Chains A and B, each alone.
Chain A
Amino acid sequence: MAPLLVGTRKGLFTIAESGAVIRHDFAGVPVSAVLHDPPDGALYAGLDHGHFGVKLHRSDDAGVSWIELPAPAFPAGLDGAPAVSLIWVLEAGRPGEIWAGTIPGGLFRSDDRGQSWQLVDSLWQQEARAEWMGGGFDQPGIHSISVDPRDRARMTIGVSCGGVWLSEDGGTSWRLGGDGLVAGYMPDQRRDDRRIQDPHRLARCQAAPDRVWTQHHSGVFRSDDGGESWQRITGLPRSDFGFAVAAHPHDPDTAWFVPAESDQNRIPVGGVVTVSRTRDGGRSFDSFSAGLPPPPAYDLVYRHAFDVAPDGAALAMGSTTGGLWLSADAGESWRIAAARLPPIACLRIVT
């Protein structure tokens, strides 16, 4: 496996497959988003500096040196005078194009490798945005930006709590997807309101990009049309609550989830850390715990702290307790790479 970029409460770690720490950058500063953009090899890190605001850095030499870039920022004079409080996700689009999803729910685009940023006003101005709500944070936020590899102008984004949105023109226009999602935290009349859904994370199959999985606040759902419509998946082992999901890069019927007990009790069920996997599109699941910590354990895996390599066999998972595990057999067994990192917010397998 290639090195891992691990964003933690106390900086960015570059970690070898052996678990050895190759680099520790931004020591002491929370790292909220990391990205490796394979075409030019650039690394991006979104920082959540407690006192001095959100920051963005890029490295063009595998982390040896970092350049501070202007962070995505709302234009002055916008109604409500919003300010970015977190860079929640960074993704690559077309060559040189980088997307950022923030709290509050802003989508930002850069056409120059992060040197400058524009708010995607067409999404910000959606009337439905008035219904968006915070999910785990005071304000709503964009945590998933999934670009269709067949046509990189087609995008599906996930908002907590503001549903699933689709664009076919690189973000110029948007429509609300998410038909079939169910919000158990709303009154009955509003449970199928697509504007307030809380998809914790979206994951798309790269080889069959119409297949998208979500770990939603109220269960696991599958889409066969890029996020437009969804069907609920039942029968997950242990729990269908959680944050993390990974989609197999080649096989649309394979996906992984990391269950937590419930939204009231965000700990592993019975103190046992497990990974759930389906290989038949969600009809059945296996539950794996080999190599994961012995109970009782309280590791929670956040939505950006779970990744699968392009081979579909290597996986990486990081926890709120600072554990980092690797699997080489598609999640069936795990090996601890680092047991005592700071709490992990996000990670990426560098490919």
Chain B
Amino acid sequence: MPRVLFTAHLKRLAPAGPVWVEAGTVRAALDRVFAEHPLLRSYVLDEQARLRKHVVLFVDGNRAALDDPVAPAAELCVLQALSGG
């Protein structure tokens, strides 16, 4: 199962450590986490379910988009983009 990690900036709302979720895409993986942590959703996605402008996603160290696939052994990182200051 892919593993999801959140920036420490979101520690108040996000899981305390990595979580393993059953998902085939970045978006599905995030949705699994948001189901358990509902307030977290609006920190990562806007109300139209788009990735926030100053949040970045990496899959196995490479920049990723919401609809990219995640392999079963992949690591998805949700970080704050430095474009946001």
Q: Give me the interface of A with B, judged by CB distance under 8 Å.
A: 49-53, 55, 68, 70-71, 73-76, 81-84
Contact = CB atoms under 8 A, between A and B. Distances in A.
A76 B52 contact: no
B33 to A, nearest CB: 15
A53 B52 contact: yes
B39 interface: yes
Given A68-B39, A70-B42, A71-B42, A52 B55 contact: yes
A133 to B, nearest CB: 21
Contacts of B80: 51-52
Contacts of B47: 73-76, 83-84
User: What's the interface size class on B, roughly?
Assistant: 10 to 19
A71 B42 CA distance: 9
B68 interface: no
Contacts of B39: 68
Interface in B32-54: 39, 42-44, 46-50, 52, 54
A106 B54 CA distance: 22
B48 A52 contact: no
Given A52-B44, A53-B46, A82-B48, 11 more contacts: A49-B43, A50-B84, A51-B52, A51-B84, A52-B55, A53-B43, A53-B52, A74-B48, A75-B47, A76-B49, A83-B46
Nearest to A80: B48
17 contacts: A49-B43, A50-B85, A51-B52, A51-B55, A51-B85, A52-B9, A52-B10, A52-B44, A52-B55, A53-B42, A53-B46, A71-B42, A74-B48, A75-B47, A82-B48, A83-B46, A83-B47
